[in-house]
């Protein structure tokens, strides 16, 4: 069995064929999926899907790209939704310096708020990182140092795509690397950057509808394709897909405290 630990299947991109997507996921033995939030309405959509289907879980956070116009009342709502039983992580939060650098300070402020929230409610964090590795690692490290519960500051650097030095930082902080479609991209260079990451510190993801793995690069992604990521990782490690599935599933079950008996079926 495989777990897609990061998938935005509540987005409109999936409205037309939602049931078919779940069926293909089950066929590929992807029986648990976790839905990261972008804004408050996405948390509510994800929670309502969790109430309809077994094996689905939600996260709560404001995505770094949404921070520019967000208010403290939006964040208050995130705090409230964290106590919903379907919410298993604070995510995705983090830093994104790729599109617009004009609100970097506000992003850092909200990153710290999300870390404090995760620590208070004892949920793992899921970090989004685009061109911001240094600041992100520095903030996580300093918050862990200041914390009276440093073990509670744990989670995933999702969509890990190198460099190898970032892998070292992730491991030293006690976090997992979330591996997705970029692992399969030709000339992406990602496989060389993950050689030192033990399998016990890896979770798999699609980030659907984005980052479809080869040979579907550029097309809409979906949870079933987490199997292609598992196949690539199996090839790189000289292991079977079953071994990759077993270990990465165990990792996600443990980190997110998921119920191994509650599986998606359609």
Positions that interact with Zn ion (CB under 5 A): 36, 128, 207
Continuous H helices in 132-240: 133-146, 164-172, 190-193, 226-237
Closer residue to Zn ion in complex, CB, 207/222: 207
33/258 Cα distance (integer angstroms): 10
Q: Considering the complex, what minimum distance in angstroms separates the CB of residue 217 from Zn ion?
A: 17
Sheet containing 2-4: order of strands: 2-4, 30-35, 56-60, 87-96, 125-130, 155-157, 176-179, 202-204
Q: Considering the complex, what minimum distance in angstroms separates the CB of residue 211 from Zn ion?
A: 9
Q: Considering the complex, what minimum distance in angstroms separates the CB of residue 126 from Zn ion?
A: 8
Please give the structure tokens belonging to residue 253.
């079950």
Q: Which of 186, 205, 183 is nearest to 195 (CA)?
A: 183
54/48 Cα distance (integer angstroms): 12
Closer residue to Zn ion in complex, CB, 65/193: 65
Closer residue to Zn ion in complex, CB, 57/149: 57
Closer residue to Zn ion in complex, CB, 103/243: 103
Please give the structure tokens belonging to residue 168.
């070292």
| DSSP-assigned letter for residue 154 | -
Q: Considering the complex, what minimum distance in angstroms separates the CB of residue 79 from Zn ion?
A: 21
Closer residue to Zn ion in complex, CB, 36/181: 36
Q: Considering the complex, what minimum distance in angstroms separates the CB of residue 65 from Zn ion?
A: 9
204/29 Cα distance (integer angstroms): 13
Q: b/e for 74-98, b at 16 or more Cβ within 10 A?
A: ebebbeebbebebbbbbbbbbbbbe
186/182 Cα distance (integer angstroms): 9
Question: What's the first-to-final CA gap in the chain, in angstroms?
Answer: 15
Closer residue to Zn ion in complex, CB, 36/124: 36
Q: Considering the complex, what minimum distance in angstroms separates the CB of residue 128 from Zn ion?
A: 3
Closer residue to Zn ion in complex, CB, 216/237: 216
> 149: helix, coil or strand?
coil
Q: Considering the complex, what minimum distance in angstroms separates the CB of residue 51 from Zn ion?
A: 22
Q: Which residue is nearest to Zn ion (CB)?
A: 128
């Amino acid at each position: 069995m495989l777990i897609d630990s990061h998938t935005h299947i509540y987005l409109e991109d999936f409205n037309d064929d939602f049931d078919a997507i779940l069926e293909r996921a089950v066929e590929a033995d992807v029986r648990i999926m976790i839905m990261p939030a972008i804004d408050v309405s996405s948390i509510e959509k994800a929670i309502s899907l969790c109430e309809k289907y077994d094996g689905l879980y939600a996260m709560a956070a404001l995505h770094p790209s949404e921070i520019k116009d967000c208010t403290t009342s939006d964040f208050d709502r995130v705090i409230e939704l964290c106590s919903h039983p379907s919410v298993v992580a604070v995510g995705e939060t983090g830093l994104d310096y790729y599109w617009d650098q004009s609100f970097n300070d506000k992003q850092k402020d909200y990153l710290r708020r999300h870390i404090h929230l995760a620590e208070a409610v004892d949920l793992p964090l899921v970090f989004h990182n685009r061109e911001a590795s240094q600041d992100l690692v520095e903030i996580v490290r300093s918050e862990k140092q200041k914390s009276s519960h440093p073990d509670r500051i744990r989670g995933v650097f999702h969509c890990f795509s190198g460099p190898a030095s970032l892998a070292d930082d992730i491991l030293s902080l006690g976090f997992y690397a979330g591996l997705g479609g970029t692992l399969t991209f030709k000339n992406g260079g990602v496989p060389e950057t993950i050689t030192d990451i033990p399998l016990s510190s890896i979770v798999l993801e699609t980030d659907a509808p984005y980052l479809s793995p080869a040979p579907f690069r550029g097309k809409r992604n979906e949870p079933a394709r987490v199997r292609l990521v598992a196949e690539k990782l199996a090839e790189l490690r000289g292991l079977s897909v079953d071994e990759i599935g077993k270990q990465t599933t165990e990792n996600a079950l443990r980190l997110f405290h998921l119920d191994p008996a509650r599986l998606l079926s359609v």
